[in-house]
Amino acid sequence: MTERLYYDDSYTRTFEARVVEHVDVDDRPAVVLDRTYFYPTGGGQPCDLGTIDGVAVVDVLTRPGDHAVLHVLAGRVASDVVSCELDWPRRLDHMQHHTGQHILTRAFIEVAGANTVSFHLSPDSVTIDLDVPEIAPDTLSRVEDYANQIVQQNRRVSARIIDADEFAGLDVRMRKMPDHLETDGLRVIEIEGLDATACGGTHVAYTGEIGIIKVLKLERSAQETRVEFRCGQRALHDYRAKNGLANQLAAELTVGTWEVAQAVARLKVDLKEARSAHKVAQARLIEYEAGELLTSADVHGETRVVRAVFDNRDVVKLRALAGHLTEKKATVILLGTAGEKAHLIMARSQDLSYDMNAALKQALAVLGTARGGGRPEFAQGGGVAATVGEIEAALQDAEQHLFR
Ligand SMILES: [Zn+2]
């Protein structure tokens, strides 16, 4: 069994140890050491990383059965005695968040009467789940204030092993214990005068080392609330990024940082007004365009034929134009737009009886496709690449088909 030195000392980053076993874990080399400061994944905390004799440690896990700590490596190590070094920023991040979690959990109990039911720590997010469906914003502020007071009071954090008798007399909040906890009793993390929690993780020695505890957001799921938070260096990075974003937005909007929300609200109102004005203008433009097209229409007996070709015109607007023209009496409409995905619209007013579907088939055949269809009074199709000249030829063919 590996002696787990991190239980009593979270701060040692370099150490020497003897290799007692070489094994393979999923085709990767791994070593068992007689003693280790590397924390293996467990209890909601990811493992430590670092190097052993200069070779990268890619995973650390507990072997089921004998609970030996397996250090999975990027390559093999040859020596019997190896020099080990922990990835310290990663370890410190875990220590800050694990201790921060104990404090935040206690703060939610004291201020909101809410209990923590689970804890999750990964490089991307840190969360606890509370057994209540809701936390009011002002309650959350008081929880944060409470937690950060504990940080600023720089209280002592200590770990010790207690036996069953002492456990019975102690007000210990039990979280699920890691089942690989290799101790003769129960390991309890005490924050001086505040909290005692059964835990197998790594922690800072004084609460001041956490720096800050900041809740980022609450998310409700069924009867629980997920609390996302950051401590220490991660909280600083988060603040730096968000402060940068706030300054950037303020500069974009040429307002002060605290006026950004107001400026965005104003922009939303302006945008809504502009959109509705645009809609009215578009409708008027289509009406005007329809009038222009009607004055230059071909005439076959009593029927006017509006034939027009566009280049890369928006199909929705083309459809609106056709719709507007079909409201006129005795009118046939042959519209097309050229481009990578050409589109044809064949339509007529209700008082006529031409089969526009047949006319469309005729025109599509000229373009070498059959993709399209519709009703006798309105049909559309296309989807192939075509030039203005090719569309013009296709529409002429359709017109001849209708009026030969
Ligand atoms: Zn802990």
One fold for 3-86 and 91-234:
no
Question: How remote is the CA of residue 88 from the centroid of ligand 1, in Å?
Answer: 18
Using 50, 70 and 90 to split pLDDT, how confident is the model at 370?
A: confident
State yes or no: pLDDT of 369 exceeds 90: no
Question: How remote is the CA of residue 140 from the centroid of ligand 1, in Å?
Answer: 22
* DSSP labels, 158-209: EEEEE-HHHHHHS-PBPPPPPTT--SSSEEEEEETTTEEEE--S---SBGGG
Question: How remote is the CA of residue 200 from the centroid of ligand 1, in Å?
Answer: 6
Q: Considering the chain, what percentage of its residues have pLDDT values greater than 90?
A: 82
Q: Specify the pLDDT at position 73.
A: 97
Q: Is domain 91-234 annotated with CATH 3.30.980.10?
A: yes
Using 50, 70 and 90 to split pLDDT, how confident is the model at 404?
A: confident
Q: Which residues surround ligand 1, an ion (CB under 5 A)?
A: 98, 199, 201
State yes or no: pLDDT of 163 exceeds 80: no
Question: How remote is the CA of residue 204 from the centroid of ligand 1, in Å?
Answer: 10
- pLDDT per position as a tens digit, 80-96: 999 999 999 999 999 99
Domain ranges of the chain: 3-86, 91-234, 282-403
Q: Specify the pLDDT at position 199.
A: 86
Using 50, 70 and 90 to split pLDDT, how confident is the model at 176?
A: very low
Q: Specify the pLDDT at position 65.
A: 86
- E strand residue ranges, 236-317: 298-300, 303-311
Is 362 strand, coil or helix?
Answer: helix
Question: How remote is the CA of residue 203 from the centroid of ligand 1, in Å?
Answer: 6
Question: How remote is the CA of residue 154 from the centroid of ligand 1, in Å?
Answer: 17
The CATH number assigned to the domain with range 3-86 reads 2.40.30.130
- Burial profile 193-217: b = 16 or more Cβ within 10 angstroms, e = fewer: ebbbbbbbbbbbeebebbbbbbbee
More confident residue, 113 or 168: 113
State yes or no: pLDDT of 178 exceeds 50: no
- pLDDT per position as a tens digit, 255-278: 999 999 999 999 999 999 999 999
Report, as an integer, the average pLDDT of 378-395.
Answer: 94
Q: Specify the pLDDT at position 172.
A: 57
Q: Which CATH architecture has domain 282-403?
A: Roll (3.10)
Q: Specify the pLDDT at position 197.
A: 87
Q: Considering the chain, what percentage of its residues have pLDDT values greater than 70?
A: 95
More confident residue, 62 or 187: 62
Question: How remote is the CA of residue 45 from the centroid of ligand 1, in Å?
Answer: 9
Report, as an integer, the average pLDDT of 352-371.
Answer: 92
Report, as an integer, the average pLDDT of 360-385.
Answer: 92
State yes or no: pLDDT of 196 exceeds 90: no
Question: How remote is the CA of residue 177 from the centroid of ligand 1, in Å?
Answer: 10
- pTM of the shown model: 0.76
Q: Specify the pLDDT at position 173.
A: 57
Pairing of strands 303-311, 331-338: parallel
Using 50, 70 and 90 to split pLDDT, how confident is the model at 111?
A: very high
Using 50, 70 and 90 to split pLDDT, how confident is the model at 168?
A: low
Closest CA to 397 of 369, 371, 373, 364: 364
Question: How remote is the CA of residue 303 from the centroid of ligand 1, in Å?
Answer: 85
Question: How remote is the CA of residue 304 from the centroid of ligand 1, in Å?
Answer: 83
Question: How remote is the CA of residue 399 from the centroid of ligand 1, in Å?
Answer: 81
Q: Specify the pLDDT at position 167.
A: 67
Q: 161 pairs with which residues across the strands? A: 187
Mean pLDDT of the chain: 92
Question: How remote is the CA of residue 49 from the centroid of ligand 1, in Å?
Answer: 19
Q: Specify the pLDDT at position 170.
A: 66
State yes or no: pLDDT of 1 exceeds 70: yes
Question: How remote is the CA of residue 6 from the centroid of ligand 1, in Å?
Answer: 13
State yes or no: pLDDT of 224 exceeds 50: yes
Reported as half-sphere exposure (CB side, CA atoms, 13 A), residue 171 has a value of 5
Q: 42 pairs with which residues across the strands? A: 45
Question: How remote is the CA of residue 220 from the centroid of ligand 1, in Å?
Answer: 24
State yes or no: pLDDT of 98 exceeds 90: yes
Question: How remote is the CA of residue 74 from the centroid of ligand 1, in Å?
Answer: 29
Question: How remote is the CA of residue 116 from the centroid of ligand 1, in Å?
Answer: 13
More confident residue, 107 or 179: 107
Question: How remote is the CA of residue 100 from the centroid of ligand 1, in Å?
Answer: 9
Q: What are phi and psi of 120, to 5 degrees?
A: -135, 130
Question: How remote is the CA of residue 114 from the centroid of ligand 1, in Å?
Answer: 18
Question: How remote is the CA of residue 196 from the centroid of ligand 1, in Å?
Answer: 10
Question: How remote is the CA of residue 195 from the centroid of ligand 1, in Å?
Answer: 11
E strand or H helix that includes residue 228: strand 224-231
Q: Specify the pLDDT at position 175.
A: 47
